A and B are shown apart, each in its own frame.
Chain A
């Protein structure tokens, strides 16, 4: 009976959170509650089918229904999904293969530009043909291409970088990430390929006319804006599904085991006949490919790309997701992405707006002994602007107190479990002796 409690609790929580979100689609706390239940679905062990059903119901029924009342939910969850896919990709490189890549946003940039250049009038700056290419079918073709360009760039950057030892690798990937950004920033002359810092806009999207009819049929506002929100939400969920599947398969394959082997001990791995450069390159290219396809989707969703989106801060944000969730853990990468993106996109911004509101209205907090007038609050205190501080803290605190993350990798967990068992046994033994 007791062993069934987690899943029952999870079910009750799911119902309560869904009701809350449907009743108050604009409330941040209701969204946090729903995401908390999703988090629970990812972290509870056993009861696979039940967990799966709860998660699917939340993702496919509850969030979209609430989203039709507050389209920002779609925006938020879609962006979280994009980050989740990238954090899964980086998890392969950093978590499984143990290669610290600080220029991961570069592959995101490559993917985004792959579609942005041809899905807008930009391409006509340097080649003949009729641009922009129409969203159907080219968006899908270029999304597939972005997988290839991402993987290719990964290989190109990896070839020199991966011959280096771990800590040099970090600096070189950081440098090469910057090289990609600065190059994108400056390829507006002599030939205008990227339109430099001004970025590219507007970018074509695939047509969603076919979605309008069902929306109307459901009695909903049948505007293209809502249709696009739903379209990108579903598209991103589908891609994440594929990415997770690939990840799980890889993790248990020869490749996955080789990656973990070189992470744990390069020299021993080499002695076992694993080709270092080869294996590392595979990890690098796989991770980059995920980032590439998300870049193309991001470009279409955002309507705009510019080099400033692909800074070191972006790479560090994704790294923070992987670290928070747990290096090498697939579920951890998802949870980390959800938590960090939610914090960054919604919680901090709402909190900032809330403080601004209190300041503007001159709210006075009266606690009996102390009272504080928010009109005096410095306008420098805006949590949304201190993302670097927050990510920095996440990295440092996790490293010091919980280096294996919120949801440690299962291999690691097994290892720790064994060690604990061994320790218990030793303790028991000494006890007996005494």
Chain B
């Protein structure tokens, strides 16, 4: 892996690429944090890519025939099979390159889907593609519910959240299950690269997208994608909420590189989870007890992550940590 990243150069605010793969004028909602995250990930990877998209918000807002927002080759087949379609593109190109039918050039194959297309209906295809070690980047744009169909709950919807199929009521607190940990599922496939990213930390997101593309073999990127429409959030707050999600430890930023967990941002002085929840109408109904329950769970999960990072750290990292 280190060899693949030999030429890796970090993006800085001054060295952002000018390339745009997603043209303006698409049909995303005002303040959409998902399309923002997608645009930055695509900028980081560059022109030499082919995208396989699942059905979902990003597909619907960019491709209404006869218009397209895509300036790179893009294919949409169905909801649950982005990873399988990407597998096919990769396999097809591999065979054609070997047989001398197309020029030998490594192209980044990107599969992209929302949380429903990843954590629920597309999980099998994703697992298959990761297990088969295809050389591709899977980007999950996680807006924590089925937004395209009108805000229904997915297995990635956080505990307590109100959606149209997890409504709070006399007998319900809203979503009654805890968010499925898909990055951990991806990491369990022992693939070379897994990372979480957030549009609020855009250079971090872009660096991770670039690394994911450079690394040979499957890479999984889980991107926090705020949805003002579905979260009952003010449209101008998409980036703020993304930052708060990280600062409250709700959405930790980390990488799993060849099985080693690396915290991208250590949250020494976390903000209370309540600050994050209270900005969003989907959590408005939660009482103090439930908020405390969420706070405890967030603390526990973050601690588990930090411990994993300590356990899997390389010698150099441990030494560096000791100096601090």
Chain B associates with chain A: no
What residues of chain B have their CB less than 8 Å away from a CB belonging to chain A?
A: none
